[in-house]
Amino acid sequence: MGSNYKVTYGVDMVFCIDATGSMRPLLDTVKDNALNLYEDFQNIMLEKNKYVEQLRIRIIAFRDYRADKDDAMLVTDFFEIPRQQEDLKKCLDSIVPFGGGDDPEDGLEALAYAMKSDWVREFKKKRHVIAVWTDEGTHEIGYGKAYYPGYPKGMPADFEALSRWWGSASEPGIMDENAKRLLIFAPGKDHWNKLRENWNQVLHYESEAGEGLRDWGYEDILQSICGSI
Amino acid sequence: MSTFLEQFDDLFIVNIPAREEAGEDSMFGAVTGSRAAAGAFDGCGGMGARKYPMFRQHTGAYMASRCISGAVRDWFFDQAGKDLGGEKEIKEGIRAYVDRAYGVCASYAESGQASRLKGSMIRPFPSTFAMAILEEGHKGSFRVHVLWAGDSRVYLLNGQGLAQLSVDDTRSTDALWALRNDPPMTNVFSSDGRYSLHYTSLEIPLPFAVFAASDGCFAYLPTPMDFENLLLKAMMEEERPVLFEKRLREDFGRIRQDDTTFAWMSAGFGSYPAMQSRLKERYEILLKNWIRPLEEGGDQAADALWQTYRTSYERYFPHQ
């Protein structure tokens, strides 16, 4: 063993952000959190003597296929942070809150997109983190299909199929069972509760429906992610 | 002096927090007239990240490991002069003490604001558990009680090399796979009571060393062979026990990326030079068969070398 041996980490984060009209008062906070995350995350990890060699962030802004059609889903590639921090900022700045139709949104489709990300594989220690920010519950997956001809192909047929994508310790899905983490900042309703109760490696910061998340539990979540690495 | 104490050599603990004043590991080590114990308890920082104002903003993980080490200490000294019994009595005894301590901790915690953090990644006061208890066995041997939960481990080191005595609560029991994949734990102590405490008991001929280790000791090395090399190299190069302990502190400090706890006991060697002498041949075999080939072959050689090392490493593996 060389005396300079050091385990390095590759961490990918996919932020699924509800960009519907009701998020107007909260969206700036979410964007700030996403932008500050690299520095805060790196500081905590360095305090723990852990070195993250690569951090990438991908953005998925979601709304409602039935109400917002072509504007229902904005999906980016991964940004390498800090090299592409400015690009990430521009992307986040481009997200404006509008639309959404009825109360529930298509957060499960956003989750499906996130799971199919081109996750980092190279590092010995890696984390694949999906974070969802929303102030509402979810439609059934596939709800928008009947109303929007452009609804994406290859989505899970139902919630059970989406659960199989996520996988479990005994039956892994498409996610790396060791690396995956799901953080949900959402009200305790619809499928968010079901996810929390039935999927492994899930952390749910529960807000009051309609009220939004005032501080988004940012510090708690950050400590949980760093503590699990 | 009892026969046990005549044959028992040494106990020491190395504890290095990843962050000063915020280390989430805790430890226990003690010797009584007829038995000795060494334990390492690793509060799980991810699952137990919640901070408690009533515990001076310490996390659930920080409190959990201390809750457990305190409870184990009480249990251990309350058994002085008594027969420990078998697996059932030992496990139930420890659980009763730990659950009582958890109850006190949780009752204070409940007086604060309820957490909004929920889900399968969160547990109340989560911690691993790894402890070895030594007692006199049949002539020329000691009985080793091994108790564990989570991914902290109990190891044995003797002339045949390093052996893992506990089995990680993760998806695989393969130690090299675990180093490479960093799997999540499937079982840890928690104040909700939803945990299993595993146990095995072995009668092992003297001399040997047995120790409990949190994952900070071994999870940041390239292979399990490197862990044995770290231990034996330090032992062979240092002249006195106190320098061996200091050297381990330095070596663990150099590789550490987590809280680190190493609780060591040795017996039957008689002296530190005798232990060095007894394990010298093993160290030479380790260097020749595994460490030098690893240095030459790198990652590509590691898999094949691990397979030749693994049989001996798992020679005391308990059947779960």
Which amino acid type is present at position A36?
N
Query: In the A/B pair of chains, how many CB contacts fall below 8 A?
Result: 109
Buried b / exposed e over B289-319, threshold 16 CB at 10 Å, is ebbebbeeeeeeebeebbeebbeebbebebe
Give the one of B121, B182, B221 whose C-beta lies nearest to A181's C-beta: B121
In chain B, the largest separation of any two C-alpha atoms, in whole Å, equals 59
Q: Measured between beta carbons, which residues in chain A are less than 8 angstroms from residue B220?
A: 6-7
CB contact under 8 A, A204 and B18: no
CA A101, chain centre distance (Å): 22
**Rg of chain B, C-alpha, whole Å:** 19
Q: Walk across the sheet containing A73-81 and list its strands.
A: A73-81, A51-62, A8-18, A125-133, A180-187, A202-207, B117-118
Residue A26 confidence (pLDDT): 82
User: Are B126 and B189 spatial neighbours (Cβ–Cβ below 8 Å)?
Assistant: yes
Cβ–Cβ below 8 Å for B184 and A200: yes
pLDDT for A189: 86
Side chain identity at A154, as an amino acid letter? G
Distance CA B303, CA B320 (A): 25
CATH number of A8-227: 3.40.50.410
Task: Assign B114 a pLDDT band (cuts: 50, 70, 90).
Answer: low
The nearest alpha carbon in chain A to B169 belongs to: A169
The answer to whether the CB atoms of B45 and A223 lie below 8 A apart is yes
Tell me if A217 and B116 make a contact (CB, 8 A cut-off).
yes
CB contacts under 8 A, B 109-168 vs A, are 115-122
Q: Which has the higher per-residue pLDDT, B122 or B169?
A: B169
Residue matched to tokens 């040997």: B208
Which among A47, A51, A220 has the least Cβ separation from residue B49? A220
Cβ separation B183–A125 shorter than 8 A: no
How far is it, in rounded angstroms, from Cα A184 to Cα B229?
Answer: 43
Q: Does A217 contact B255 at a Cβ distance shorter than 8 Å?
A: no
Among residues B45, B2, B8, B60, the alpha carbon closest in space to that of B29 is found at B8
H or E stretch at B25: strand B25-31
For tokens 């094949």, the residue is B304
Question: In CATH, which of 2.60.40.1510, 3.40.50.970, 3.60.40.10, 2.40.50.140 is domain B3-313?
Answer: 3.60.40.10
**pLDDT by residue for chain A (229 residues), tens digit each?**
555 567 778 999 999 999 999 888 888 888 887 788 778 888 888 877 777 889 999 999 999 999 999 999 999 999 999 899 999 999 999 999 999 888 899 999 999 999 999 999 887 788 999 999 898 999 999 999 999 999 999 999 999 999 999 999 889 999 999 999 998 888 888 899 999 999 999 988 887 654 444 455 677 777 777 777 7
Interface test with A, best of B21, B47, B120, B172 (most A CBs within 10 A): B120
Residue length of chain A: 229
Alpha-carbon span B39 to B131, nearest angstrom = 4
Check B121 against A47: CB less than 8 A apart.
no
Which parts of B95-178 are beta strand (E)? 117-118, 129-136, 141-149, 153-158, 161-164
